[in-house]
């Protein structure tokens, strides 16, 4: 009877039991389904009333089934939430679980942390820019003319022009475009370092198509070559931890600095020891920011002047730790990372 079925529905302890009741009544060979099928045998004058009555029973049962289903589903969800509850007040695990290997701060990140701290004591803050740059920021604004070898395809990764505006887009070949961005975004005086990824279409044992540089930019009313030299000598001695590290400034050329200087540190070529021997090792590029570059970035060269430098982060990391091979930097071997990196 309808009453019995409704009682069975109300008593169904879970979704499976409820479905069994549903199949028994409304399934293909269910009791209610049989009544509906039997309507054909009912005399025509009774059929209409009879059909309406059976349908009313069917609808009542469907309603009861849906209601009970909703209740059971909510109960099941609540039970699951209770079972899976996290105790956020538990203390954190301090060690990796048994059998798991602890990771390490990557040597690149370690060097960035170290040099950020050193430059931080000299009043530098950290600036950043995008890896994907317009040709203008990466080259033109830095006074690198169209025929300069740095623009040729074998060095630069070109991307399709962005937004169909016809301007070339590149993967930045150095962190120097952030000089321009920093000067355009803020007002001098400026004192920033810019650690970041850089890209050149070059791949062999000592070159990776993606590598890291750190740029430095200092702009003030009376910043001189003397400041450049003092700043870099102090940094190199602090970074390599050698108080008397010999540092040599050698005249050079970059389109965006004038004068330009490459910086060498003293080492012993045979033993690889820094600060010993009588050999020189080139380590970074630097110079006084070219007046055209200042003007391109909206800084008045009659009022402001300053210096810039750029160095390879892999390179100074390899020299500091005596790492001979560039490739492991990008291989995520946890033993290598733990040996040359820093503890987490
Ligand atoms: N951008 C230069 C390079 O990638 C380095 C540099 C930076 C030189 C700033 C001078 C001033 O080689």
Any atom of ligand 1 within 6 Å of the Cβ of 254: yes
What atom of ligand 1 comes closest to residue 213's alpha carbon? Answer: 4
Report the DSSP beta bridge partners of residue 287: 260, 308
Higher pLDDT, 211 or 46: 211
Q: Per-residue pLDDT tens for 126-180?
A: 999 999 999 899 999 999 988 887 777 668 998 877 666 666 899 999 999 999 9
Residue 216 predicted with pLDDT over 80: yes
Three-state SS for 52-114 is HHHHHHHHHHHHHHHHHHHHHHHHHHHHHHHHCCCCCCCCCCCCCCCCCCCCEECHHHHHHHH
- Ligand 1 mean position, distance from CA 49 (Å): 94
- Ligand 1 mean position, distance from CA 173 (Å): 10
Longest pairwise C-alpha distance within the chain: 119
Q: What is the DSSP letter of 277?
A: S
Q: Which two tokens stand for residue 49?
A: 């009333």
- Ligand 1 mean position, distance from CA 286 (Å): 6
- Share of residues in the chain with pLDDT > 70 (%): 97
Q: 180 and 137 in contact (C-beta within 8 Å)?
A: yes
Which helix (H) or strand (E) is 321 found in, with range? Answer: helix 313-321
Residue 61 predicted with pLDDT over 70: yes
- Ligand 1 mean position, distance from CA 253 (Å): 10
Pocket test for ligand 1, best of 197, 218, 254 (most atoms within 8 A of CB): 254
Dihedral (CA of 104, 108, 111, 112) sign: negative
Residues 257, 113: Cα–Cα separation, whole Å: 27
Tokens 């690149």 correspond to what residue?
108
- Ligand 1 mean position, distance from CA 185 (Å): 21
Which residues belong to the annotated binding site?
A: 258
Hey, how many other C-beta atoms are within 10 angstroms of the C-beta on 13? 9
- Ligand 1 mean position, distance from CA 176 (Å): 6
3-state SS class at 14: coil
Pocket test for ligand 1, best of 198, 256, 306 (most atoms within 8 A of CB): 256
β-strands 247-254, 257-268 pairing? antiparallel
Any atom of ligand 1 within 6 Å of the Cβ of 287: yes
3-state SS class at 179: helix
Residue nearest to atom 7 of ligand 1 (CA): 310
Tokens 């009682």 correspond to what residue?
7
pLDDT value of position 228: 98
In sequence order, the 6+-apart residues with CB closer than 8 A to the CB of 52 are none
The answer to pTM > 0.80 is no
Which residues belong to the annotated binding site for Mg(2+)?
A: 258
Any atom of ligand 1 within 6 Å of the Cβ of 312: no
Any atom of ligand 1 within 6 Å of the Cβ of 310: yes
- Ligand 1 mean position, distance from CA 328 (Å): 25
- Share of residues in the chain with pLDDT > 90 (%): 63
Residues 254, 150: Cα–Cα separation, whole Å: 11
Any atom of ligand 1 within 6 Å of the Cβ of 174: yes
Any atom of ligand 1 within 6 Å of the Cβ of 285: yes
- Average the pLDDT over each of 25-34, 88-97, 209-218, 270-279 and give the range with the smallest value: 88-97
Provide the ipTM: 0.98
Residue nearest to atom 10 of ligand 1 (CA): 286
Span 271-295, average pLDDT: 95
Pocket test for ligand 1, best of 137, 143, 174, 178 (most atoms within 8 A of CB): 174
Q: Which two tokens stand for residue 20?
A: 């069994």
- Ligand 1 mean position, distance from CA 261 (Å): 10
Residue 93 predicted with pLDDT over 90: no
Q: Is the peptide bond before 155 cis (omega within 30 degrees of 0)?
A: no
Any atom of ligand 1 within 6 Å of the Cβ of 305: no
């Amino acid at each position: 009877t309808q009453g019995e079925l409704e009682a069975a529905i109300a008593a169904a302890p879970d979704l499976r039991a409820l479905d069994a009741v549903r199949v028994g009544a409304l399934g293909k060979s269910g009791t209610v389904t049989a009544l509906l099928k039997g309507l054909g045998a009912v005399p025509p004058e009774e059929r209409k009333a009879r059909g309406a009555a059976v349908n009313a029973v069917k609808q009542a049962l469907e309603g009861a089934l849906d209601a009970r289903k909703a209740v059971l589903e909510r109960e099941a969800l609540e039970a699951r939430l209770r079972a899976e509850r996290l105790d956020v007040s538990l203390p954190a695990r301090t060690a990796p679980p048994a059998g798991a290997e602890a990771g390490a701060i990557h040597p690149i990140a370690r060097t960035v942390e170290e040099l950020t701290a050193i430059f931080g004591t000299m009043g530098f803050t950290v600036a950043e820019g995008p890896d994907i740059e317009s040709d203008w920021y990466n080259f033109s604004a830095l006074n690198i003319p169209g025929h300069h070898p740095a623009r040729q395809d074998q060095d630069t990764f070109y991307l399709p022009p962005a937004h169909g505006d016809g301007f070339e887009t590149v993967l930045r070949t150095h962190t120097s475009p952030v000089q321009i961005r920093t000067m355009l975004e803020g007002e001098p005086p400026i004192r920033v370092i810019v650690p970041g990824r850089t890209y050149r279409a070059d791949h062999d044992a000592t070159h990776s198509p993606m590598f890291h540089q750190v740029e430095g930019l200092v702009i003030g009313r009376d910043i001189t070559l003397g400041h450049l030299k003092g700043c870099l000598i102090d940094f190199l001695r602090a970074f390599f931890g050698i108080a008397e590290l010999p540092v040599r400034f050698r005249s050079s050329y970059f389109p965006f600095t004038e004068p330009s200087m490459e910086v060498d540190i003293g080492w012993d070529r045979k033993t690889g020891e820094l600060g010993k021997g009588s050999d020189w090792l080139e380590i970074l590029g630097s110079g006084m920011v070219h007046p055209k570059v200042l003007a391109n970035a909206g800084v008045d060269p009659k009022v402001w002047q300053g210096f810039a430098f750029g160095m390879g982060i892999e390179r100074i990391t390899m020299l500091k730790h005596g790492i001979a091979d560039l490739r492991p930097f990008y291989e995520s071997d946890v033993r290598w990372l733990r040996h040359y990196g820093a503890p987490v």
